[in-house]
Structure 1
Amino acid sequence: MSALLQSKTLLPETIANLLGLSGTLGAIIGGLIGAFVIANLLLVQTAVAGPWAKRKITAAFTDRIAVNRIGPFGLLVIVADAVRLLSKELVIPEGVDRPAWDLGPLVIPFSALLGFAVIPMGSGIQLADPETGIVFAFAAGSIASVGLIMMGYSSNNKFSLLGGLRAIASNIAYEIPLVITGASVILFTGTLQTSAIVAQQSEPLISIAGVTIPQWFAFVNPFAFVLFVIANLAEVGRNPFDIPEAPTEIVAGYQTEYSSVYFVLIYLGEFIHIFLGGAIAATLFLGGPAGPVLPGFIWFTIKIWLFYFFTQWVRSAIPRLRVDQFLDVGWKGMLVLSFANLALTAIIVGVIA
C-alpha cells in the first residue's frame, strides 16, 4: 500500500504537531494554515491556467502563436493581465440588486476551493477526511450554481437573466447524471470516504507480462468514467456545454455586467472549478494521487492538469450545442445512461459479492 494510504495523519494535524500545538487550538490553527497553503497552491496553478495556458493551448489548435512577448514564453502576461483587470473601474449598472450582485462572484471561487477540503492530494496532504467526503465535494462544487443564479437575476439585464436560467437548466440536467455515475463507484467501494476510495484503487487489478495494472475504476468501469467526464464538462461549463455563457448568443450570460475585480473572481472560480472537476474524477476513477516513482502530489497535479488540457481541447474542437440539444443530451441521454450504468454496476457487484 502506498505511503499516502499508510499515512492517516491529515495536513492540519501535521502542521499543529510541527508548531507544538494540541487540542482545539492546534486543530484551528493547523486547519487555517493548511487551508491557506492549499488554496494558494491552487490559485497559483489557476493563474497559470487562465491567462497563459488557455491562450497557448487554444493557439496550438488554431495554428497561432499566442502570447510570447511579455517575459519568457509570455509568462509575464499573468502579471500584466492581473494589473490590467484589477486597475479597471468597477462599473455598477443601475437597478442591480447590490447584495446578490456583490456576493455572486465570491460564491463561485469559494465553492470550488471548499470542495478541495476533502480531496486527498498526496501523502498526508488532505485537509479533512469525513466519512461523507465525496458527497461533500459534490455539494461544495454545486454551490457555484447558486452564485451563477444570483449574478443572473441581480444584474438587471435580460442576457444575464437568460444565463442564470441556463445555469439552472445545466445544473439540473447534468449534475444528476454526474452524481449517479459517481455513485456507481461507491457501489464498488462501499464507502463515501475519499481516502478509502483511493485506498481501494491501490490494489492490483491484473498483471500482464510483469506489469501490474492498478484497480483504478477507470479500468474497472470505463463506461462510467466516460459518462462522468462528459457530465463533468457540463458541470464546469466547457464546450460543448458552455450554455450559461454562450458569448455568441447572450453576450456573456450571467457575467455580462461584471468588470474589474469581480470579473477576475468569476474567471478565477471558473478555472478552479475545472481543477476541482479533475480532482474528483482523479479521486473516483484514477487512483487519486497514486502513481509510480514520483511523489503523490506530483501525480495528483499531473492528473488535474490532464483534465484541464482535455477541457481546452474539447473547447477548441467541438462547437457549442443549442440549448434544446443541450437539454436533450442531458435528460434523454446522460440521465438514462447513468441509471443504466448504476443498475449494471449493482448487478455485477451483487454477483461478485
Structure 2
Amino acid sequence: MIPAVTLPEQFVEWFGLDPANPIAVFAMGLLAAAGVASFVLAQTALAGPWAKRKITAKFTDRISVNQHGPWGIFIIVADSIRLLSKELIIPEGADRPAYDLAPLVLAGSALLGFAVIPLGSGIQVADPEIGLVYVFAVSSIASLGLLMAGYASNNKYSFLGGLRAVAQNIAYEIPLVLTGVSVVLFTGTLQLSAIVEAQQQTLVQLGPIAIPMWFGLLNPFAFAIFFAANLAEVGRNPFDIPEAPTELVGGYQTEYGSVYFVLFYLGEFIHIFLGGAIIATLFLGGPAGPGPEILGLFWFTLKIWAVFLVTQWARSAVPRVRIDQLIDFGWKRLLVLAFANFVVTAVAVGVLA
C-alpha cells in the first residue's frame, strides 16, 4: 500500500525541518523533484542511445553497437559528446522564440507528468486529488511544442509534420482520456495513489496464489484501447506519421540539430516512459509486486521497461500507415470503442454497486 506521505514530506521529517516552514517545504520539494527527474533522465539516457539499438537489432536480426565498452554501453557517452559538440545551425527565417522554446516544451511537459506518479513506496513528489487530470493535461502540452517546432522552422516539411502531430494527438487523446476515466469509474477517485491502492485487492484466489485486481486484468479491453492510443501519443509505429522520414525528411524536427536535437530525442523517450508509467499506474498495479514494499521502485521500473520493449517491437515490426488511415482509425473506430468501453464499464459498476 502506498503511504499517504509524499517524498518532500518524508525529506522534511528526515532532515528534522519544521513542516510549517514554507521555505523548508519548498526546498524539500525541489530536492524530491530533482531526484525523480534524475531517475527518469537516467532511464531515458539508457534507453535512447543504447537499449533502443540493442532491442531493434534483436528484432531485426542485426548486430548492434558493440565497440564502445562492455556490450557497447559507452555509446551513451560517445553519442552525447558527438551530438552536443555539433554546431547549432538556425534556419534562415526561423521564428526564434518559438524555435528555441519548442524542444524545452516537449521535454519539460513529460518531466512534469512524473511529479504525480507514485514510483514506489512513498516515492511521489505530489499527490493531488486530481492527479489523473494533471498528468493528462501536462502531457498534452507536448502537442504545442511539436506545432511550435514545425511552424518556427520555416520549412514546409516541418510545418506539415507539426500539423500531423496535432491532428494525430487530438484524434487519439480523446480515446486515451476516455479509457483512463473508465478506471476512475472503478475507483471513484482521480488521485493516483488511491487508484494504485484500489488494485491491491485480490481478484481471484488460486490456492496459495492471489491474483491482484489490476485493472488490466479486470478490463483487458480498456487496457488494449489505452495501449493503442498511447502508441499514437508517443509516435511509435504505425503512428510515426509526424516524422515519417520517407515522406517528410524528419517532420517537425528536420531543422533541429546539436543540443536542440538532443532535447527533442530526450523528450520523445521521456514521453514513452511517461506513457509506460501511466499504463503501469492505471492498469498494472503501479509499484505493486511480490516481496516487501521497498521493492516497489524495482517493480515499477520493470513495468515501464516492459511497455518500452513493446513500443520498440512495434517500431521494428509494424509498418507505417497513411495519415488518412491513421486519422480515420482514431476518430471512427478507436473513439467508438472507447465510448463503448466507458458505457459498459459505467453500467457494470452501477450494477455491481
- Work out the CA distance in 2 between the residues paired with 1:247 and 1:35: 36
Q: CA deviation at 1:277?
A: 0.2
Q: Is 1:234–1:241's contact at 8 Å kept on the other side of the alignment?
A: yes
Alignment correspondent of 1:324: 324
Alignment correspondent of 1:122: 120
Identity across the alignment (%) = 66
- Matched position secondary structure for 2:210: strand
Alignment of 1:1-353 (within 5 A): 2=1, 5=2, 7-22=3-18, 23-293=21-291, 295-353=295-353
Q: Deviations over 1:140-196 (max 9, x none)?
A: 111111000000011000000000000110111000000000011000000000000
**In structure 2, what residue type is equivalent to 1:349?**
V
Q: CA deviation at 1:18?
A: 2.0
- Work out the CA distance in 2 between the residues paired with 1:184 and 1:210: 31
Q: CA deviation at 1:228?
A: 0.3
Q: Is 1:108–1:143's contact at 8 Å kept on the other side of the alignment?
A: yes
Q: CA deviation at 1:19?
A: 2.1
- Work out the CA distance in 1 between the residues paired with 2:185 and 2:248: 41
- Work out the CA distance in 1 between the residues paired with 2:186 and 2:231: 24
- Matched position secondary structure for 2:108: helix
- Work out the CA distance in 1 between the residues paired with 2:180 and 2:71: 39
Q: CA deviation at 1:20?
A: 2.2
- Work out the CA distance in 1 between the residues paired with 2:138 and 2:117: 12
- Work out the CA distance in 2 between the residues paired with 1:309 and 1:10: 30
Q: CA deviation at 1:208?
A: 1.3
- Work out the CA distance in 2 between the residues paired with 1:322 and 1:171: 15
* Structure 2 residue runs without a partner (length 5+): none
Q: CA deviation at 1:44?
A: 0.8
- Work out the CA distance in 1 between the residues paired with 2:137 and 2:321: 26
Further displaced range: 287-296 or 116-125? 287-296
Q: CA deviation at 1:230?
A: 0.2
Q: TM-score with structure 2 length normalisation?
A: 0.98
- Work out the CA distance in 2 between the residues paired with 1:318 and 1:218: 23
Q: CA deviation at 1:287?
A: 0.4
**In structure 2, what residue type is equivalent to 1:14?**
Q
- Matched position secondary structure for 1:149: helix
Q: CA deviation at 1:321?
A: 1.0
Q: Deviations over 1:94-126 (max 9, x none)?
A: 000000000000001100000000000111100
Count residues in correspondence. 349
- Work out the CA distance in 2 between the residues paired with 1:347 and 1:278: 28
- Matched position secondary structure for 1:206: strand
Q: CA deviation at 1:319?
A: 0.5
**In structure 2, what residue type is equivalent to 1:331?**
W
Q: TM-score with structure 1 length normalisation?
A: 0.98
**In structure 1, what residue type is equivalent to 2:311?**
T
Q: Deviations over 1:122-146 (max 9, x none)?
A: 1110000000001101111111110
* Structure 1 residue runs without a partner (length 5+): none
CA RMSD of aligned residues (A): 0.7
Q: Deviations over 1:302-352 (max 9, x none)?
A: 000000000000110100111011011101111000000000001100101
Q: Is 1:16–1:29's contact at 8 Å kept on the other side of the alignment?
A: no
Q: Deviations over 1:212-241 (max 9, x none)?
A: 100100011000000000000000110000
- Work out the CA distance in 1 between the residues paired with 2:25 and 2:321: 47
Q: CA deviation at 1:209?
A: 2.6
- Work out the CA distance in 2 between the residues paired with 1:17 and 1:105: 37
Runs of 4+ residues deviating >4 angstroms: none
**In structure 1, what residue type is equivalent to 2:121?**
S
**In structure 1, what residue type is equivalent to 2:215?**
F
